[in-house]
Amino acid sequence: MLMAAYWIWWSRRRNFLNSHGLHGVYSDHSLIQISSPMMFSFPVGVKKIVRSWNQVDYKKFISLILNSPICGPFESNDPEYLLNLFEREIGIITDTVAPKHIVTFKDISTSP
């Protein structure tokens, strides 16, 4: 008998909500359920260019530095020349022992 009374109450409440244009909305004091379309965006992949420094052969790295022009003798004592020489040679050495590669990370946003 109690179940039949609850069903009649629920049917009347649902008819009331539907007659007032509130389709898909139900409330039972502690549960509120609303049906509405949601926009969902998929995580975007972020690509970065990285080097794998943990896989470097350090003996080869040291020998390349010792055999490079940055260990002297130098053609000039001009600081700009020495800086450009160091930058160029270190770039060549690092590209040899730890080449760049592309890694894709999933950008997962923590905010809505």
Across the range 24-32, mean pLDDT stands at 55
| Count of domains for the chain | 2
Distance CA 5, CA 13 (A): 12
Task: From 91, 94, 86, select the one nearest 58 (Cα to Cα).
Answer: 94
Any domain includes 75: yes
Can you give the pTM of this predicted structure?
0.50
* Banded pLDDT at 72 (limits 50, 70, 90): confident
For residues 18 and 69, state if they share a domain.
no
Any domain includes 112: no
For residues 49 and 8, state if they share a domain.
no
For residues 81 and 100, state if they share a domain.
yes
For residues 30 and 48, state if they share a domain.
no
For residues 24 and 75, state if they share a domain.
no
For residue 9, the enclosing domain spans 2-34
- Res 1: pLDDT: 47
Across the range 8-13, mean pLDDT stands at 58
In angstroms, what CA-CA distances link 36 with 23, 24, 96, 109? 10, 8, 56, 22
Across the range 95-104, mean pLDDT stands at 89
For residues 27 and 52, state if they share a domain.
no
